[in-house]
A and B are shown apart, each in its own frame.
Chain A
């Protein structure tokens, strides 16, 4: 079974500063993907960034980067130069890629971190 842990229920950051949202995961699969989604107050789920377990380089997408430490089973999201519009709930999720397993293709979510950006 997969498990995602986000230990920060809420985080605060000053506008224009960087912030790191923590995510640790537990899986017995050797091949998997890690995802981050943003959920603003309007409720939709917005895909932000993806990291494959075999990717040697950390993923980056604009102001978002994923600090992937495979040995520690962590996949922290770093948001640089925070903006007021970054205030939202952020979810870390994982998906095993081992075909034939019962969890194959299923996305498991953490409980989320609420980020508030102060002006």
Chain B
């Protein structure tokens, strides 16, 4: 079983749609959680951190459910420029090295 699992998609949505991605992680000792964005296999870029209380950044909302070991990302009012691969990332609590554990990524294609 992969440590971080995501539905690879692709998710094809029209502009203006709301889309949600889910991610599950297997290591209950995971302590830090992030969503990264990767365009056309360029370098990944941090989109947002994910906190237990949930957090929002403009059109993006991230949620963490520690009991279910589940992370989500909600994108409202999708733009063409949101087309990318979204990577769910965790850091293990037992890790003192800060290495990132990546999911395979979920591909989003926003159509006009």
Query: Do A and B truly interact?
Result: no
Instruction: List chain A positions with a Cβ less than 8 A from chain B.
Output: none
